[in-house]
Structure 1
Amino acid sequence: MRQIVLDTETTGLDWRNGDRVIEIGCVELMNRSLTGRHYHVFINPGRGIDAEAVAVHGITEEFLADKPKFGEIAVGFEDFVRDAELIIHNASFDVGFLDYELDLLGRSKLGQLCAGVIDTLRMAKEQNPGKKASLDALCDRYEIDNAHRTLHGALLDAELLAEVYLAMTRGQESLIMALEDEDARGDADVAGGLIERRPQKVLRASETELAAHHDVLAGIAKANKGLCLWLPPEQESTAA
């Protein structure tokens, strides 16, 4: 199972207003383990950056002046995330921006490129209704060290989110392992012919029990004008 934990930074809050992606950070999970592979890139958006956004991530227009445009990094990004399940905090935000960038280039959106999306913000709200669900709050809840996070950064946030996701779903891991163990045992039993079934004792009704059962059915048939699904047709007429 290949999963990609993904985060972006942008010029503002809404791609519908022309805001663009300026940073993408991804880390790879394989069978719930960090592989050490990551994807990280800064992008020249070709437009200004809102002052409020700079205050959050600290990325300036001057810093991005010599960075590639999205069209130059699109293939590398697609190759890294293709066919993987994406794990994103507040997924609608990042997916909206990335789909907008891909659509501007006439390329397939994430829904066609990837195997699916897990939104950890929604997951956190479902697991702990009414509690804070920001990435910082989840790091505190699961005792993940985020002291080095003074500003938002796509790669750093993706790394923290990977740890948060693994902590949030730790119980699922043990369930999966248990199911795999059961399957393995079942296969071994069938393959090796080791299944032994105890002979089952069959208890048959006595003549007295059969007579009492017939009387009950006859009473049902009589109450329903001779109709009883559990009596043969010839006995239904007798019961009527």
Structure 2
Amino acid sequence: MREIVFDTETTGLNPSGGDRIVEIGCVEIYNRVETGRHFHAYFNPEREIPTEAEAVHGLTTIFLSDKPRFSEKAEELLEFIADAPLIAHNASFDFGFLNFELERCGLPAVCISRMVDTLALARSRHPGAKHSLDALCVRFGIDRSQRIKHGALLDAQLLAQVYVELTGGRQIGLGLVADTKSVAVDPAAGPVTARELRPPRPHAPAEEELERHRAFIAQLVDPLWDRFAAVC
């Protein structure tokens, strides 16, 4: 199953109030395994970057001034995500900004039914714990040492690992031989020797064995089982 894990960085918290997406990072996973394919872009928001937002992601007005506008990369983004489910942390925030930008370009919004929220998953699996991306990386032993500031692509890559852990871990696709009804043979392992099946061996004692056993028992003095037999 193909899924897309994504994250956005923005100028603020409210798209209807004029805030815009300045960065998006998307990571492709297939059957819970990263394929190595990703989509990443910075955008010129056509407005100043507030100091508070710059402190979070480190993206400045000057840095973004020569970057493409969202409308210039929108078709490429839609082609990459295609019809896959979209996974994000606190997904309603990212979906709100993504759909605002798409509608601003005259493109159809992404259906909310495609949204998978890892924040909701984390709250369900670990109620009462901390559920930030940093906290979940610590919980699952995921290396976040490069996360000095928020970055859409890096955060999407970290979230992809968190999502795998929240949905069963790395063994989620493990198939047992008993399930497949077949065994794969490695040609490099050398020739396979076919063995002839032997008939089952008889396990009942022969009469002479029973006789020797009775003679041995008769030599025992005051055997323990005689005491229990007398009580019964």
Q: TM-score, normalized by length of structure 2? A: 0.73
Aligned to 2:111: 111
Cα offsets for 1:77-118 (capped at 9, x unmatched)? 000001111110000000000000001111111118xx7121
**Aligned pair count?**
181
Asked if 1:128 corresponds to 2:151, the answer is no
What TM-score does the superposition give when structure 1 sets the normalisation length? 0.71
Tell me, in whole angstroms, the C-alpha distance in 2 between the residues paired with 1:170 and 1:180.
20
Q: Describe how 1:84-163 pairs up with structure 2 within 5 A.
A: 84-111=84-111, 116-163=114-161
Q: Find the aligned partners of 2:157 and 2:136 in 1 and give their Cα distance.
A: 13
Q: Secondary structure at the match of 1:110?
A: coil
Matched residue type, 1:107? L
Higher relative contact order (CA 8 A, sep 6+): 2
Determine the C-alpha separation between the residues in 1 that align with 2:143 and 2:3: 22
| Secondary structure, counterpart of 1:125 in structure 2 | helix
- In the alignment, the residues of structure 2 paired with residue 43 and residue 76 of structure 1 have an alpha-carbon distance, to the nearest angstrom, of 13
For 1:200-239, list aligned pairs within 5 A. Answer: none
Question: RMSD value over aligned CA atoms?
Answer: 2.0
Unpaired runs of at least 5, structure 1 = 186-240
State the SS of the aligned residue for 1:7.
Answer: strand
Task: Tell me which amino acid in the other structure corresponds to 1:71.
Answer: S
Q: Which residue in the other structure is 1:56 paired with?
A: 56
Q: Is this contact kept in 1: 2:164–2:170, CA < 8 A?
A: no
Residue matched to 1:77: 77
CA distance in 1, matches of 2:25, 2:53: 17
Residues 158-192 of structure 1 deviation map (CA, whole Å, 9 limit, x = unaligned): 00001111111126954x6569975x55xxxxxxx
Q: Distance in 2 between matches of 1:155 and 1:69?
A: 18
Supply the distance in 2 between the matched residues of 1:132 and 1:121 (Cα, whole angstroms): 10
CA distance in 1, matches of 2:162, 2:41: 23
- Identity rate, percent: 52
2:6–2:25 CA contact under 8 A, matched in 1: yes
